[in-house]
Amino acid sequence: MAPSSLSTPFSDDVFVIDVESNRNIAAQKKTHLLLPDIDKRYGNVFKRGLHHASSMDRDWWTRPSAVPLVLLVMSLLIIVVGGTIRISDAGESCPDWPQCFGTWTFDVSVDEQQQFWEDNPDHEDSRGIDHRYSTFQIFTEWFHRLLVAVVAIPVLLNFVMAKKLKETYGDRAVKVSFLAGILLICQAIAGAITVVLDNVDWSVALHLSLACIWASVLLYQYLWMRICEGANWSLLKTSQEFFNQHAKRIDSMAASVFLLLILGAWVASTAGGQYNQGCSVGFPNGWPKCNGDFFPSVDGPGIMVQMIHRTGALLVGLLLILSTARITESVRRDKQATGFKTFAHMTSGLWSLNVLVGASYIILAKLEEFPEWLSLVHLVVGVSSVLMAICASMLMRLSKEISLESSEE
């Protein structure tokens, strides 16, 4: 089956031909194709992957690369459940760790909560000793912890699989799967710290940061294994010139949206989320203005926190728009790397969407009453933009490796 033109970042046009034909096509089209003997450093990983039809004829869920992909989906589910905990005001609904009100279940009555506080006077709730949680609030926190515990099993299996298939996927898959396991442990520890410290702002930001890093590691493992299995994405044929021009630009896009996401987590958790109304609410006094002014006096912590977040979003937006424009211009001129242009547009588009979601959160709010479901959407779109940009950065690095190996042939 001959290769066809690809218009999407992840089009799977996999073809099986002999080595000599591969080299002839590469010479004719001046593209960097994976050749079966290019991977001298990685133990014939590409040799066993790309040109084995059996690895591509199988359904996606039967391939070994499906394991990190499923784990990636589970990591995103954990992040969403974590966001649900925050918007449900359930961050302290299980005051102890790893148990919940001294039990392993979530069905804790008001009387049982009262008894726990009497038996454990050292535990404090920022909402006061008389505050009681609903069964749903306790369940969200309990389910969040359960997910982390359950996912530990496939994370271990992921490492065992990578070790067993080392000859096919190389030592890199083993190291990345091991790192994923370490990050899961760190994530659990960060969660415990967050509970013990009653959801202090920096611990919440750290918790989300580790979750995103963990998801990114799983994403990298999936991309690497798919390449070893024979994925022939158009992005992997990017020239060295394009890499030299835009690698740092794509890296800066990924770093900026990640920092903006963490900044948002800090804003949402500072003072228990009370600073959400630091700039008032409604249109236009709450947004785009802040307390009726575009440049308000930063004489209170709530206003300062809000303005830091808004200023950060503006600066990141400028960086994304300018970077996307430069990448688009380069793609249009050189007629290559259209996949990276798509990634850039999608990252910028998600940023724009999230600005609208954040604005709607303030505009539609009333004092002391916010549409918290929009806060969850804000988180999901933010995480999506981060993974989109990080994925582009990873593929850029992998493309460079393949390009360099091909040029040595």
For 83-109, give the DSSP string: HHHHHTT-TTSS-SSSSBTTBSSS---
Confidence bin at 57 (pLDDT 50/70/90): low
**253/14: higher pLDDT:** 253
The stretch 378-401 carries a mean pLDDT of 94
DSSP letters, 309-377, are: HHHHHHHHHHHHHHHHHHHHHHHHHHT--HHHHHHHHHHHHHHHHHHHHHHHHHHT-BTTB--HHHHHH
Q: Are 145 and 78 in contact (CB under 8 A)?
A: no
- The pLDDT, as a whole number, for residue 43 is 39
Residue 356: other Cβ atoms inside 10 A: 12
CB 180 within 8 A of CB 161: no
Burial (CB count within 10 angstroms: exposed 0-12, middle 13-18, buried 19+), residue 135 = middle
| pTM reported for the whole predicted model | 0.83
pLDDT value at 23 more than 60: no
Q: Exposed e or buried b for every residue in 230-239, given b needs 16+ CB within 10 A?
A: bbbbbbbbbb
The residue with greater pLDDT, 201 or 300, is 201
CA distances from 181 to 68, 142, 160, 174, 203 (A): 12, 21, 11, 11, 20
Give me the amino acid identity at 374. Answer: L
- What's the rounded Cα separation, in Å, for the pair 196 and 206? 14
Three-class SS of residue 293? strand
Average pLDDT over residues 266-273: 75
The whole-angstrom separation of Cα 278 and Cα 342 is: 37
Question: 338-363 and 240-269 are packed helices; what angle lies between their axes, rounded to 10 degrees?
Answer: 20
Range picked from 183-187, 199-203, 272-276 for highest mean pLDDT: 183-187
| 300/290 Cα distance (integer angstroms) | 12
Q: Using 50, 70 and 90 to split pLDDT, how confident is the model at 340?
A: very high
Residue 125: pLDDT over 80: no
CB contact set of 396 (below 8 Å; sequence gap of 6+): 235, 238, 243, 246, 247, 250, 251, 340
What pLDDT does residue 406 have? 61
Burial 250-260 (b: 16+ CB within 10 A, else e): bbbbbbbbbeb
Token couple for 297: 């006096």
